[in-house]
A and B are shown apart, each in its own frame.
Chain A
């Protein structure tokens, strides 16, 4: 973590800022309107990267959970918690931007399409994970419980994917070569911006959590000394 610090504190905020501004400029000034959907389609450049971040967060939670159960190092536990919190934020962004887009295009705020269903269930799993962390009391077992939930959650994803897919389907898919080059570049820039934002937020939260833990240990030592 220490080795990553100069990069995370010195470079990452500026990288996020630059890519974010570039992404905004490209989304609103550079990329042409989509022929059928018009200006509404531009929300897609925020929607899709946020969705990728949601899944990224989920897999980080699962990976860190597995590593925690395997080796029991505190860092993995903190990483899982931070990734769950940030993944939840992006998951909420996906749901909100999706609804804003769906209203003019599909005529409804919400519909039970497989991908929408999938994201809303993922949101509920994230929520359960964070609730478990908050409600489980301050025991040292929480970390293991949360890790179990993180792993079972990711095992549930393929089944969930199959079952909601079989259940119904109208979500637009990007076909191979279906995006104009300008759109592709804009999407890539937005993805880069969201990825930087994700990493930066993850870093901030991680540092915050490990500082908090340091304070708790220091306080315990102080009490023991008195």
Chain B
């Protein structure tokens, strides 16, 4: 699994395509929000958390679109499947790779966008990465599963968000609630935190178990 993960990371660090495009895209989405709403309207942790997560979801969607693209275009996926690797392991490696890319981008974009919204940064400095991690794991678990499906269909660009967004509703609500609690410095480990963790566990396990059905040729 580590070798698979290493392969994806190495490919990325040779080109830095995915991370740099993700970073620029999420920065631009934040700018679009500021221009569309005007800075005075983006006030209070609720809306700041909401905009942050909308940005991350759309940027994450782009990252997922690319997750299987290289393998698909060059036909390497059948090669990967021929190796004696469990499909579940392949899923975990792909998912972790995606989590790492997204986290790297998020750790820059989240403080940056909060600064642009002139939100108070300091109270959330320790907990924000944890919330980002939990949200990203759930997002990547479902996302990797459906990216693998979407990349083998005709309308892959449309199909991925169409399948993913409705299923992400619980994650999105929970992540926004926890983030806004973190931003205000309220207690963050309440019921929403548990929903977030439950979502992560359920869909990492589901993806791990069901991935063999997706990649079967």
Contacts and interface: CB of A to CB of B under 8 A. Distances in A.
B38 interface: no
B174 A163 contact: yes
Given A148-B145, A152-B167, A159-B195, A127 B162 contact: yes
A135 B158 contact: yes
A127 B159 CA distance: 11
Given A128-B163, A152-B142, A155-B202, A163 B213 contact: no
Interface in B162-180: 162-163, 165-167, 169-170, 173-174
Interface string A127-140: 11001100111010
B214 A144 contact: yes
Interface stretch (B22-30, B61-69, B146-154): B146-154
B203 to A, nearest CB: 7
B163 A149 contact: yes
Given A152-B203, A160-B170, A137 B214 contact: no
A27 to B, nearest CB: 33
A191 to B, nearest CB: 27
Contact of B198 (A131, A136, A149, A159): A159
Given A148-B214, A155-B206, A136 B153 contact: yes
B36 to A, nearest CB: 22
A125 to B, nearest CB: 5
Given A132-B159, A136-B153, A145-B149, A121 B166 contact: yes
B139 interface: no
Contacts of B146: 149
Nearest to B159: A135
Contacts of A31: none
A141 interface: yes
Nearest to B194: A162
A163 B169 contact: yes
B70 interface: no
Band of interface residues on B: 20 to 34
Contacts of A160: 169-170
A124 B146 CA distance: 16
Contacts of B166: 121, 124-125, 127-128, 156
A147 interface: yes
A153 interface: yes
Contacts of A156: 166-167, 169-170
B41 interface: no
Contacts of B191: 166
A160 B152 CA distance: 28
B210 A135 contact: no
Given A136-B153, A148-B149, A152-B142, A163 B195 contact: yes
A65 B210 CA distance: 12
A147 B174 CA distance: 27
B15 interface: no
B192 interface: yes
B162 A128 contact: yes
Contacts of A153: 167
B155 A135 contact: yes
Contacts of B117: none
Q: Which 5 A-B pairs have the closest CB atoms?
A: A124-B166, A159-B170, A163-B170, A135-B155, A136-B153
